[in-house]
Amino acid sequence: MWRRVASLSSSISSSFLAQTASRLNSWESLTTGIAQQAKGVIAPKEKTPFITFVLGGPGSGKGTQCIKIVETFGFAHLSAGDLLRREIASKSADGAMILNTIKEGKIVPSQVTVKLIQKEMELSDNHKFLIDGFPRTEENRVSFERIIGVEPNVVLFFDCPEEEMVKRVLNRNEGRVDDNLETIKKRLTVFQALSLPVINYYSEKGKLYTIKAIGTEDEIFEQVRPIFAAFEVCSVSAMILSIQLCCFFLLHFESENLTTALFLLNLFGIFVMFLI
């Protein structure tokens, strides 16, 4: 359904260069789609999804920050945990399996979680997604890319001390089946063992942004805001430049040369992605 945004990463292993390449890919997915239409891959009404993975241990505050990101930047929030709990509440066979897996502090099979995420993405009118609490393992990551067919544009990692996460979870009193000391300890152990490879992978790809998750909600959000604000600014700048050139070509080309003008416009749209 969606095409994979072309990778700009080079063979140079520098984290700065990797992050720069990642940002160029991300800006492309936030623009009006001129580059995609030039290639004839995406239908006019379709948009390349802008995907953000939100990672962090239980109690790291990622859910709270997702609410702020949604309110400020208009993302659709997909919580892997909420989707799994909804499936449990449905009393389905998958729901029973998920419940037992969570009680044991283990990871739910990747395909189950990815299919739930995929369904929500396909039903949404939005093209910007915050996927909260996923992927938690390398298997999760590989399954997502295989089934959904895209990679994330941004990966947020909320880095929080273990003692602070335990305190937050025990104090939130939400009545969740996994909000008890024994299960929390298991979940933190699993997170440390299985999620660090995912975090390291996206760090090497230049997509990882580490957020120090200590302080008030607003203080933490001030670390998050500039990340998405930068993408928004670049998207708007690219659209303005493209509109300006469109007006120029339409004013200076005769009607019989309109096809040539539109072709050049599309080329300019691609060029803008790499200039900003």
**Cβ neighbours for 145, distance < 8 A, ≥ 6 positions apart:** 151
d(CA 84, CA 150): 22
197 marked as binding residue: no
> Does 268 show up as a binding residue in the annotation?
no
- Is residue 63 a known part of a binding site? yes
Q: Quick one: the chain helix, strand, coil %, rounded to 5?
A: 60, 10, 30
- Residue 61 counted as an annotated binding residue: yes
* CA 218 – CA 49 distance, rounded (Å): 27
**176: three-class secondary structure by DSSP:** coil
Q: How far is Cα 178 from Cα 193, in angstroms, rounded to an integer?
A: 18
Say if residue 57 carries a ligand binding annotation: no
Is there a binding annotation on residue 187? yes
Q: How far apart, in whole angstroms, are the C-alpha atoms of residue 100 and residue 3?
A: 36
Q: Does 58 appear as a known binding residue?
A: no
- The three-class DSSP label of residue 107 is coil
* CA 139 from centre of chain: 17
Look at residue 51 and give its three-state secondary structure: strand
For 83, the token pair is: 């989707």
Whether residue 59 is annotated as binding a ligand: the answer is yes
206 labeled part of a ligand binding site: no
CB atoms within 10 A of CB 208: 23
Q: Do the annotations mark residue 23 as ligand-binding?
A: no
86 annotated ligand-binding residue: no
According to the annotation, is 135 in a ligand binding site?
yes
60 is in an annotated binding site: yes
Report the DSSP beta bridge partners of residue 210.
157
Question: Is 74 annotated for ligand binding?
Answer: no
Tokens of 34: 């001129």
DSSP 247: H
Task: Say if residue 56 carries a ligand binding annotation.
Answer: no
Annotated binding site for a ribonucleoside 5'-phosphate: 85, 106-108, 133-136, 176, 187
Annotated binding site for CMP: 140
Annotated binding site: 59-64, 85, 106-108, 133-136, 140, 172, 176, 187, 215
Annotated binding site for ATP: 59-64, 172, 215
